[in-house]
């Protein structure tokens, strides 16, 4: 039986300055750091004293979230490039207004190969980037896993846990927000239990 926790990084500068996050390296706000510290305290109670295998996105806001969590849990993070947020190409770090004005128009139906900018990742690109990591953790001997990443990346991992394909995201996907925590159990026969998804355990 595996226990899997997913933490979406807490409040980042791009959440309050009207800019796009995506592949840009925004830091946490002071409030975001406090949120992450409180999540670490909460996880100490929710996850117990087990030594979790911790995987973290290389982007600053995720690294800082893990740093604050580890003031309580004291885990050794493994930084995995696969867990970075989707790359919006030219749109990374731009204002939301600029992004909306310049992104390529979407078609009338879901297209997993749509890119808002020529140098951006599509949904299929992100899926293909994350899928080997997903299989790695599912097949590993680690029974307790904690992932600190981003809303887009975690939503795709959640889709994989549910058993969806990238095409299924055209009609159903899970949406999280900063500071949310998800908890899954994976039985030895592969069945997945979702105890809670994108739950906000602390309010700062």
**Residue 129, CA distances (Å) to 19, 81, 84, 98, 161 in order:** 25, 9, 10, 27, 15
Domain contains 171: yes
Burial environment of residue 31 by CB neighbours within 10 A (0 to 12, 13 to 18, 19 or more): middle
Mean pLDDT on 68-94: 96
Its pTM stands at 0.96
Instruction: For residue 93, give the 3-state DSSP assignment.
Output: coil
C-alpha to C-alpha distance for 13 and 25, rounded to whole angstroms: 10
Instruction: Report the pLDDT value the prediction gives residue 59, as an integer from 0 to 100.
Output: 98
Number of domains in the chain: 1
As a whole-number percent, the residues of the chain with pLDDT over 70 amount to 100
- Does 50 score more than 80 pLDDT? no
Contact 79, 105 (CB under 8 A): no
Mean pLDDT on 101-118: 97
Domain contains 204: no
Contacts for 102 with CB less than 8 Å, ≥ 6 apart: 90, 91, 94, 117
**Residue 119, CA distances (Å) to 31, 111, 176 in order:** 33, 17, 25
Q: Which domain holds residue 33?
A: 2-199
Domain contains 25: yes
Instruction: For residue 66, give the 3-state DSSP assignment.
Output: helix
Instruction: For residue 43, give the 3-state DSSP assignment.
Output: helix
- Does 49 score more than 70 pLDDT? no
Instruction: Report the pLDDT value the prediction gives residue 61, as an integer from 0 to 100.
Output: 98
Instruction: Report the pLDDT value the prediction gives residue 46, as an integer from 0 to 100.
Output: 86
Q: What is the CATH number of the domain that holds 81?
A: 3.40.50.1240
Average per-residue pLDDT for the chain:
96
Instruction: Report the pLDDT value the prediction gives residue 143, as an integer from 0 to 100.
Output: 94
pLDDT band at 204, cuts 50/70/90? confident
157-199 pLDDT, tens digit per residue, is: 999 999 999 999 999 999 999 999 999 999 999 999 999 999 9
133-156 pLDDT, tens digit per residue, is: 999 999 999 999 999 999 999 999
Contact 200, 180 (CB under 8 A): yes
**Residue 204, CA distances (Å) to 26, 64, 70 in order:** 20, 17, 18
- In 41-138, beta strands by DSSP E: 53-56, 77-79
Beta-bridge partners for 19: 95
Instruction: Report the pLDDT value the prediction gives residue 47, as an integer from 0 to 100.
Output: 79
């Amino acid at each position: 039986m595996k226990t899997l926790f997913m933490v979406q990084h807490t409040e980042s500068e791009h959440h309050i300055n009207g800019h796009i996050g995506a592949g840009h390296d925004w830091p946490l706000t002071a409030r975001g750091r406090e949120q992450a510290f409180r999540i670490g305290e909460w996880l100490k109670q929710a996850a117990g004293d087990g030594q979790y295998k911790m995987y973290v996105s290389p982007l600053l806001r995720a690294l800082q979230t893990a740093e604050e969590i580890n003031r309580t849990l004291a885990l050794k993070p493994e930084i995995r490039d696969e867990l970075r947020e989707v790359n919006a190409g030219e749109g990374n770090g731009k204002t939301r207004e600029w992004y909306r004005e310049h992104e390529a128009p979407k078609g009338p139906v879901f297209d997993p190969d749509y890119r808002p900018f020529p140098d951006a990742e599509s949904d299929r690109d992100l899926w293909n980037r994350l899928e080997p990591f997903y299989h790695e953790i599912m097949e590993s001997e680690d029974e307790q896993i904690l992932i600190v990443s981003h809303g887009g990346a975690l939503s795709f991992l959640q889709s994989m846990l549910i058993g969806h394909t990238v095409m299924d995201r055209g009609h159903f996907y899970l949406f999280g927000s900063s500071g949310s925590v998800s908890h899954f159990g994976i039985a030895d026969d592969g069945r997945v239990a979702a105890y809670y998804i994108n739950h906000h355990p602390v309010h700062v």
